[in-house]
Amino acid sequence: MGRTRFNLVLSALLLLVFLLLPTNTAAAPPSQCLGYAFTESENHAFLIQQNSSNFGSSLIIKTDCSSIELIIDGATVARSNNSYFEYQIEEGLHNITLKADGFNETYNYVSIYPDRLNWEFEWRELNGQDIQFIELTKASLQENWAAFLSVVIAWFLSTYVYWQLVQSYVQRNFIEEVMS
């Protein structure tokens, strides 16, 4: 009786351990698709995300969804069945949403700045400063006068220094002849 009881307890314990082991069933691949957006300025890409600052006016969307919808500031601006498309976005602060079947991402407070070539104009406009540029002929004239005066000053200083050296040599080596 002791041996059968021991076998029964052992088999119950093995059954309990077997039931507690994790199952290794293969998980089905997710049915969701993915998509992301970014802007480009020259050779730099800026990923769209929450509170991000992005440079460039071309918004590029890449996805593996069958179709995707681009919503900017609550209005649908583009739909595409392609895995890659571009949208020209205005500069400023935007809320951007990428929406597809099984995929929905919203990015709030995305700042879009102009491409690098437009920064000077935008900087002046934002700062309210009106920068006065010098005309090319005036700049050339000022450059020529500066070069001429530099040559005159350099000639005068070098001549004066040489003159002082010669005078010092002559005064030191001056011999008076005495006539009898």
Q: What is the pLDDT of residue 13?
A: 73
Q: Is residue 60 part of a domain?
A: yes
The answer to whether residues 41 and 122 belong to one domain is yes
Q: Is residue 87 part of a domain?
A: yes
Q: Same domain for 42 and 106?
A: yes
**The pTM of the whole model exceeds 0.95:** no
**Pick from 50, 37, 44: nearest CA to 110:** 50
**Domain co-membership, 39 together with 120:** yes
Identify whether 12 is part of a domain.
no
Both 58 and 86 in a single domain?
yes
119 and 140, same domain (yes or no): no
Do the domain assignments include residue 148?
Answer: yes
**Per-residue model confidence (pLDDT) at position 60:** 92
Report how many domains make up the chain.
2
Residue listed under structure tokens 């119950």: 12
Cα(167)–Cα(130) distance, rounded to whole angstroms? Answer: 57
We report the CATH number of the domain holding residue 107 as 2.60.40
Q: Is residue 91 part of a domain?
A: yes
Same domain? 91 vs 151? no
Q: Which domain holds residue 63?
A: 35-127
For residue 50, which phi and psi values (nearest 5 degrees)?
Answer: -60, 135
For the chain, 180 residues long, give each residue's pLDDT as a single digit of tens. Answer: 567 777 777 777 777 677 777 766 555 555 578 889 999 887 788 999 999 989 888 899 998 888 899 999 999 999 888 888 999 999 899 999 999 887 888 999 999 988 765 666 666 677 766 667 788 999 999 999 999 999 999 999 999 999 999 888 888 877 766 676
pLDDT at 12: 74
